[in-house]
Amino acid sequence: MLDNDTEINFLADKVHAHHWPHDTPKWDELTNRDIDQHLNKNKEKMQITLKSNVILIDNYKFTEIKKVGLTIPLFKNESILVFEGRFERFYAHVHITTKAKDYLEIFNKLFHWRSRYFPDSV
């Protein structure tokens, strides 16, 4: 189980973020380019850190997290974390995929994290 001081750290093979929900401030052109370059089209592995109700993706800090989903796709050795959250003054819908060898252990840690901090998403 997780305690208050526990962080979950892993490397993401792929991250995709887009503006969501529609009734929130639209991303400006600079934000669109930045997210595309540093997250969506970045082929490098990205550091993911979860601590209580905050998700860090490299240097992007997401707060106001909600609608947290977890999945292990059929016939794939990977796990996916999906959520809505706020970064700076913008909101996003984010998919994080890890294909790490310990993807099942990561999934289990994420499952316990979600159950503890986002019980409405279960």
Six-digit token pair at 64?
A: 């106001």
SS3 92: strand
Return the percentage of the chain with pLDDT > 70, whole number.
Answer: 95
SS3 11: strand
User: pLDDT-based confidence at 120, cuts 50/70/90?
Assistant: confident
What are the tens digits of pLDDT across the range 45-89?
Answer: 999 999 999 999 999 999 999 999 999 999 999 999 999 999 999
Ordered domains of the chain (ranges, CATH):
8-121 (2.30.29)
